[in-house]
Amino acid sequence: MFFVSCHGVGQPQIKSISPEAIPGDAESVLLTVEGNGFTTKSQIMWNSIPLPTTRIDSHHLMTTITQETFSSLGGSIGSSVQISASSKGNLPGTGCPINGNSNVMPLVVN
C-alpha cells in the first residue's frame, strides 16, 4: 500500500499557451494550453466562457479557435483575450480533488 499526497493540488495552473498570438482573420487556429491539474472535465475558457476542449493529458488541453469564436464570444484585431482553464473532478491516477479556475494568460489578437 502506498500513500499519495494531495498537498498543493486543488486548482489547475496554466504555464503557457501556444500560440501566444493569433491573427484576427485566421480561419482556424489550434490553441494548446500547457499546465497541470487538468481533468477529463477541464475546459479552456475564453474570457470566462467555456470552449469545446480536448484533454490530451493532465498537462495539456487543446481547442480550435475559428471566426465563429470571434463573432460569438468576442475578440478583435488589436485586443487580447483572457485564456484560463476550469477543472472539476479528480486528478487521474491520484484521486486528488481538483476544482476551480486557473490563472489567466493573455492571447493577443493581431
> pLDDT tens, 20-59?
999 988 899 999 999 988 888 899 999 999 999 999 998 9
Q: What pTM does this model have?
A: 0.85
- Residue 13 corresponds to which amino acid? Q
Residue 1: pLDDT band (50, 70, 90) is very low
Sign of the Cα pseudo-torsion (65, 71, 77, 79, in order): negative
Fold of 13-109: Immunoglobulin-like (2.60.40)
Sign of the Cα pseudo-torsion (75, 15, 38, 18, in order): positive
Nearest 10 degrees: CA dihedral of 104, 105, 109, 110?
Answer: 150
The reported pLDDT for the residue numbered 9 is 62
Q: Are 81 and 109 in contact (CB under 8 A)?
A: yes
Beta bridge partners of 18: 32
